[in-house]
Amino acid sequence: MNLFKNKIQDERVVHEQNKIYREIYFLIYTICLVSVVYKFFIYGFELKYIATEIIITLAAGIYYTVRASQKGLFSAEVEMHDNKSKWSYQTKTIVIGVATGIALGLFFGINSAVNYAETPLERVYYFFLTFATSMMFYIPILVLVLVISYSTAKHQSDKAVEEQLEDDES
Amino acid sequence: MKNLKLKVARVEHDLSQAELAEKIGVTRQTIGLIEQGKYNPSLQLCISICKTLNKTLDELFWQEED
């Protein structure tokens, strides 16, 4: 009996399995998020307690970006997005960086006002001081990191697409 | 195996890969890979391509045995 005789895979089964893997991916993200929120309320905002969740989230994101770039899928995602959306993928990337910077500034501002200030005037002062400082720090860094990551991934992905289609003269 | 029938039908309609891709709602890469025989499209995608190019499935996707 030849075990390798039938090379055709059941596409329906493979497709359904991939759908389940995708659901598992979201499930893991949700568990990480719930765990971070839970630990935040139990231990406060301490990075050491949520390091595992951050590593899982970051590693999965980085892995996906690298593999999607290698296979040229990132260019396809950008193309599909830009065909449908009013805002280009690159503009959205910058907006996400700025919005995340503002959100972090708000978070640290409120945290500082609530935990360290004693009088109402101090609260306002601490809030605006921390909010402005955090924004000045986080917005440029986040925008820079996201734009560099986007450009690198897009460049590598475009190269992969060209290699895949290189013997095709269109 | 390259799908020359698809390529010919696309050129007959004076469409580039990118233009055909946009009409169907897929990427240029996908059309390019189908034409090169490096990607097997789903039946649903084959039908979309056929409808866009006014061809039948046989005309575009049936490969004669050598």
User: Which residue range is the domain that position B43 belongs to?
Assistant: 4-61
Rounded to the nearest angstrom, the minimum Cα separation between A122 and chain B is 55
Pick the last residue of a domain from A55, A70, A85. A70
This complex has an ipTM of: 0.72
- The identity of residue A55, as a single letter, is I
Instruction: Give the model confidence (pLDDT) of A3-33 as tens digits.
Output: 555 566 788 888 899 999 999 999 999 999 9
Instruction: Give the model confidence (pLDDT) of B8-62 as tens digits.
Output: 999 999 999 999 999 998 999 999 999 998 898 999 999 999 999 999 999 999 9
CB contact under 8 A, B32 and A167: no
Instruction: Give the model confidence (pLDDT) of A101-155 as tens digits.
Output: 999 999 999 988 988 888 889 899 999 999 999 999 999 999 999 999 999 999 9
**Residue A5 placed within a domain:** no
User: Which residue range is the domain that position A29 belongs to?
Assistant: 10-70
DSSP secondary structure string for all residues of A18-68: HHHHHHHHHHHHHHHHHHHHHHHHHH-S-GGGSHHHHHHHHHHHHHHHHHH
Give this prediction's pTM: 0.75
CB contact under 8 A, B28 and A167: no
> Hunting for tokens 């390091």 — which residue is that?
A51
Task: Give B16's contacts in chain A (Cβ within 8 Å).
Answer: 170
Task: Give A75's contacts in chain B (Cβ within 8 Å).
Answer: 27, 29
Split into its structural domains, chain A has a count of 2
Domain co-membership, A65 together with A78:
no
